[in-house]
Amino acid sequence: MVSIYKAKAKAQGPQHLTLTVERWDHEAQSIAYHDGKICFVQGGLPGETVKVKLNEQKPQYNKGKVQTVLNASPLRIQPACPVAGQCGGCQLHYVGAQDSLTLKQQAVAQLLSHQLKITDLPWQPALSAGNTGYRRKARIGIWYEKSTKQFQVGFRKEQSHEVLAVSECLVLSPVIAKVLSVLHDTLPKLKHGPVITHAEVFDADGQAYVIVRHIKELTAGDVELLRQSWPEAYWYGEAEPEQLTPWQANTPEPSYSLALSGREPLRLAFKAGDFIQVNAAVNQLMVEQALQWLAPTVDDNILDLYCGIGNFSLALAASGAKVLGLEGVPAMVKRARDNAKANGLANCEFAHVDLHLPWPKAAWNKPDFQKILLDPARAGAPGAVDEIARLKPAQILYVSCNPTTFARDAKVLLAKGYRIAKIGVMDMFPYTSHLEVMALFDTVRQ
């Protein structure tokens, strides 16, 4: 008889640890150590002693979540949100928004100083605005439980696909906050309510829009019930991804405005499914700071990469500079062109380019740009930063929603002879672990 040897599973360590938090990392995780091993902990504050339940144990690290605070930080507060710690939307309601911004900025500064080997980065004041009612766009989870014939309306639970029922949300814009109660009250009245899987809602400068995602067609009666449940809002149905059907005749195109010094505000139109910055107030501050740092003039040729619908491009062009915006999504390119025309900006052009591939031979692909702005997605701009450096602009303004990929791309620019002249953070999402970065690179050596 053959005897098959099976290696005995290596015993894990204790499932609960008592730890002292040293600091936050750039993802707002608490950092502590146990027997020399680093522990990443959710829910702790620097200086606290906490009891932690481990959910992952690896040879190099542990991961866990605070179960009990044994010695609380003076920064710890009672969350104002009744579902804090359960809802996956916000992670940091146990600390005030200003204190969490300070801790997040310290963590990002430490990450970048370590990654870039620069101890004295030229930090500028952080950009922040209101801490509540700031989200002008949100995705609402909907789940129909067949056994109870009840709907769950709210947001995904923390680290879960399950929907947590939420009756109100502190960070939703007051214009769209009503959506939670509207859907909660109306879905049970629909004939085919269970075919609705989620909804998206957004605030377009004070006007509410709702997109209802449904996997089968709704009856005319169901559509009318939804419309009448919130008649002030404009409703769309989405039976297939990106195929939106307005439920009202003559539905106006959504748009938002950007105020500019010395001229009429810009108005940027967008489609219901387009990407726009979630925090309108911080977006305004971010565009203003970009203009201040780049100081565009009528003599400048400026390249705007990952330009979207023209959030930065139009503001730069309004200063008199000649601007070319590049974007990888053809529909967004069309939107940007339409926005430039609607705002009377003939000095602003747009083109469709996949910026992560080797750049094509084109009339624009030559070192004629004095200044370049890029605002990539979380993956950053791998490959594109090499192409940018090849064009040798005098200044590069990098707007990032991911400090880790920013650090990777910044290393490339630093190696190509650039330096960081200014850098700052933007608190686009208070009460969450996210923090945006803006950095101005130039070729001047001190």
What are the residues whose beta carbons fall under 8 Å from the beta carbon of 58, sequence distance 6 or more?
none
Residue with the two structure tokens 């200003």: 98
The 10 Å CB-count burial string (b at 16+, else e) for 386-424 is ebbbebebebbbbbbbbbebbbebbebbeebebebbbbb
CB atoms inside a 10 Å sphere around CB 425 = 23
DSSP assignment string, 16-60? EEEEE--EE-TTS-EEEEETTEEEEEET--TT-EEEEEEEEE-SS
Nearest Cα neighbor of 426 from 134, 175, 173, 174 is 134
**Helix 403-415 vs helix 97-116: crossing angle, to nearest 10:** 30
Whether the CB-CB separation of 380 and 351 falls below 8 Å is answered with no
Dist CA 373 CA 381 (whole Å): 12
Catalytic residue (one of 81, 90, 348, 401): 401
C-alpha 436/C-alpha 105 separation (Å) is 10
> Among 173, 164, 257, 243, which residue's Cα sits nearest to residue 211?
243
Alpha-carbon distances, residue 139 vs 135, 153, 359, 402, 413 (angstroms): 11, 11, 35, 21, 36
CB distance 306 to 379 below 8 Å: no
Structure tokens at 231: 């008649």
> What whole-number distance in Å separates Cα of residue 150 and Cα of residue 333?
43
State the chain's maximal CA–CA distance in angstroms: 90
Class of residue 364 by CB neighbours under 10 A (exposed 0-12, middle 13-18, buried 19+): middle
Give catalytic status of residue 307 as yes or no: no
Q: What is the dihedral of CA 219, 223, 226, 230, to 10 degrees?
A: -170
Q: Is residue 438 classed as helix, strand or coil in its secondary structure?
A: strand
Positions annotated as catalytic residues are 401
